[in-house]
Amino acid sequence: MERLPVDLQYLPQDKQREEEPDIRKMLLEAIMLLTATKAGRHTVREKGTYLILRELHRWEQEPTVLAACEKLIQVLIGDEPGPGMENLLEVNIPEEVEQQLQRLDREEEEEQERWRREQEERGLTLRSEEPSR
């Protein structure tokens, strides 16, 4: 807990989470961009970000936000890339690997869309629409 910034250590119990899933996802993607460089990954880890992400992951039900959270967690808990790959935005990816990753992204998006349609058909509300804990 002491690794968190002081402002986050003393949040009141009634602190509301962001209600809009798209904004939560964009915030996670912004943090992901900060982790593109070795220095950025170090800073994000040093601030105790994993603890916050762990709690978000437990609470979150929106598949797109969960996927973004899981990807960010993988970057934070994963091994550091080898020499020459310190900046993840500048890594050269072989074409066949890039095609495979794009296919996996499409499959993930299709699965998320199926989940969303099922929720709508059932008339279920997402936890994000409920009051925050």
Residue 18 above 80 pLDDT?
yes
Whether pTM exceeds 0.85: no
Alpha carbons 45 and 101: distance in angstroms, whole number = 26
What pLDDT, on the 0 to 100 scale, is given for residue 70?
Answer: 95
Tell me if 52 sits within 8 A of 4, measured CB to CB: yes
Alpha carbons 62 and 8: distance in angstroms, whole number = 24
What pLDDT, on the 0 to 100 scale, is given for residue 125?
Answer: 54
Per domain, the residue ranges of the chain are: 6-129
Q: What is the pLDDT of residues 81-114, one digit of tens each?
A: 777 767 777 667 778 888 888 888 888 888 888 8
Alpha carbons 44 and 49: distance in angstroms, whole number = 6
